[in-house]
Amino acid sequence: MEISGAKIVVETLIEQGCDTVFGFPGGQVIDLYDELYTARDRIRHILTAHEQGAAHAADGYARATGKTGVVIATSGPGATNLVTGIATAYLDSVPLVAITGNVPCSLIGRDSFQEVDIVGVTMPVTKHNFIVKDVNELADTIRMAFKIAKSGRPGPVLVDIPKDVQTALCSFEAQKQPVIPYPLRFADEGRLERAAEMIRNAQRPYIYFGGGVISGKASQELLEFAEKIDAPMGCSLMGLSAVPTDHPRFLGMQGMHGHFASSAAEAESDLVIALGVRFSDRSTGNKERSSRNFRLIHIDIDCAELQKNVFADLAAEGDIKDALERLTAMISQQEHPDWSARIVQLRAEEKRRTERALAASRSKGYVIPSVPGDTDNKPAPRRLDPYTIIDIVSAGADDPIVVTDVGQHQMWTAQRYPLKRPRSFLSSGGLGTMGFGVGAAIGAHAATGKRIVLFTGDGGFGMSLNELATAVTQHTPVVIIIMNNGVLGMVRQLQTMFYDRHYSNTTLNRRTNFVRLAEAFGAAGAQCTTAEELEKAVKDAFGYNGPFVIDCAVDCDEFVLPMLPPGGSIDEIITEID
């Protein structure tokens, strides 16, 4: 029997195991939406307020589960609104299939209404993309999109489908199984043997891992490997949650705003074993080979990441789980008592520095950002410091998925929030997309049914608060913590340190009442300026079945510390500011 292209899309999505799609309808996907209506008991569509929110939601769905997220948008502006979400997924290696409608084939190239070359636009931010001009190729193209998205290093794939392809008829036979990814590549035995030799000879080994450990499901293997070689571990932002943050070997995120102990341990080590990580400039500091004292082993599933940003003395392409299993088996139990003692010292040093910085920050009077001629700027009576906020929220939460937006709050959360299991921390790392949070939270809940804690700032929340409407409709139990400092804090911090305090356009000074805003959307909210208020609000929020906004007053000159200036070495790390 012949069915329409639109129906083929829906049937293929279901065949690929997709239970939820996120999207926003429009003229060139109306046929597809008609079929989604018919199939609504088999596949759920979550309507967002904006296509970007839908893309982040599909991304959050994928990050929270490892499954491929699916987002649908119409042609033209619908498609271009996806671009930031697709790029976000691309930079963080998230499997995503984006489906866009386009004008009928006969109108392509004529600058028709809502026509845009979305394949051209998204070429640099997708693993691959397709335009399907023949309905006979539609089902296999969508299958291939899933295959590419989840093979090897995952990533987004876009499929653009002109309207006439959606209405054209074609025979269709559903496959019994979702497509199987391309076979994994496994690390070369000889290289692993050389790696094992380097590890055996090391006195001060240090493990630096990234998101590849999470997507490669290698958390357990990583912990066993670390025990076997007696090494401490640090990670990139994307690696967070791969191992429990309270694990005795875990020193925390390293890099620009990472923990002192992990950055220092890396600098003092004689061998760094980098696993599923790509040495982003934010996590790596000085990348020059000459500036380092350690040798480097780099293992990654993506061959193109090897020798790309840093020189590795030994690089191996392959699945991380397999490589770790084999490496662990090759090495006898190692002992590095001196190095372990040094790590204890570094941890103690970090604790001292953090406590001094916290005490200094807490003793300081708050600063109100001022705008010339503004007389309506009443100081808040008290303010909360970021770590106190995080501690209170995490104490009140029962194993939620933690989502962040982008900015200072993101770094504080990454440094401080206790995480227990993989995929419990979702954050836009590579692209650093402000406005990621609310959409991702909706998607993560839709995928897991779990409670979500979203940390955001007043700046980032302003970029995504339209999706509060979606969270209300979806009854998303998301506790939204706004670290409200009235400024774009991350940029302000840079302006303070490197731009002579020229606060060019980083002072928001808005009059937004976030509690009333939440209520206007049909959500609940509370404003907090003290720990006691926050404790009560958190209690209320975690008992609430829907989005709950907690507006926390934070000083505009709270800094994210430590700070390793871009390209800087460990000696240049700033842990305290006068």
Partner 1 sequence: MGDQYVIAVLVSNISGVLSRVSGMFTRRGFNIDSLTVGETESPGFSRITISFRGDDDIKEKILRQLEKLHDVREVEVLDQNGSVIRELLLIKVRNSQDYRQDIMTAVEIFRSKIVDYSPTALVCELTGESSKIDAFIELVKPYGIMEMCRTGIVSLERGENCLKTVK
Residues that bind partner 1 (CB under 8 A): 119-120, 123-124, 127-128, 131, 148, 302-304, 306-308
Quick one: 128 or 249, whose CB is closer to partner 1? 128
Question: What's the first-to-final CA gap in the chain, in angstroms?
Answer: 75
Containing 201, the helix (H) or strand (E) segment is helix 189-201
Active site includes 221?
Answer: no
Smallest gap from residue 16 Cβ to partner 1 (A): 18
Residue 495 near residue 502 (C-beta atoms within 8 A): yes
Smallest gap from residue 477 Cβ to partner 1 (A): 39
Smallest gap from residue 279 Cβ to partner 1 (A): 14
Which is nearest to 256 in space by CA: 497, 421, 441, 417? 497
Distance CA 32, CA 34 (A): 5
Active site includes 493?
Answer: no
Quick one: 171 or 307, whose CB is closer to partner 1? 307
C-alpha torsion angle, residues 524, 530, 535, 536 (rounded to 10): -50
Quick one: 185 or 217, whose CB is closer to partner 1? 185
Residue 460 near residue 491 (C-beta atoms within 8 A): no
Active site includes 420?
Answer: no
Smallest gap from residue 355 Cβ to partner 1 (A): 44
Quick one: 141 or 456, whose CB is closer to partner 1? 141
What sections of 230-299 are H helices per DSSP? 260-268, 281-284
Distance of alpha carbon 538 from its chain centroid, rounded? 24
Quick one: 203 or 307, whose CB is closer to partner 1? 307
Smallest gap from residue 316 Cβ to partner 1 (A): 14
**49 SS3 class:** coil
Active-site residue, selected from the candidate residues 2, 113, 227, 351: 113
Buried (b) or exposed (e) across 76-113, using 16+ Cβ within 10 A?
bebbbbbbbbbbbbbbbbbbbbbbbbbbebebbeeebe
Quick one: 119 or 358, whose CB is closer to partner 1? 119
Active site includes 335?
Answer: no
Distance CA 570, CA 258 (A): 11
Residues linked to residue 524 through DSSP beta bridges, in sequence order: 548
Containing 553, the helix (H) or strand (E) segment is strand 548-553
Task: Name the DSSP class of 507.
Answer: B
Output Rg (C-alpha) for the chain, integer angstroms: 24
Could you give the C-alpha distances from 95 to 51, 91, 189, 387, 459, in angstroms and in order? 18, 11, 29, 32, 28
Active-site residue, selected from the candidate residues 114, 133, 308, 311: 114
Smallest gap from residue 10 Cβ to partner 1 (A): 25
Quick one: 123 or 371, whose CB is closer to partner 1? 123
Angle at 325 between CA 314 and CA 245, to 5 degrees: 90
Smallest gap from residue 139 Cβ to partner 1 (A): 18
Active-site residue, selected from the candidate residues 253, 411, 490, 563: 490
Distance CA 146, CA 349 (A): 48
Quick one: 130 or 225, whose CB is closer to partner 1? 130
Active-site residue, selected from the candidate residues 11, 15, 35, 51: 51
Active-site residue, selected from the candidate residues 147, 150, 163, 228: 163
Distance CA 427, CA 144 (A): 27
Smallest gap from residue 544 Cβ to partner 1 (A): 45
Active site includes 113?
Answer: yes
Which is nearest to 452 in space by CA: 417, 423, 476? 476
Catalytic residue ranges? 51, 113-114, 163, 490
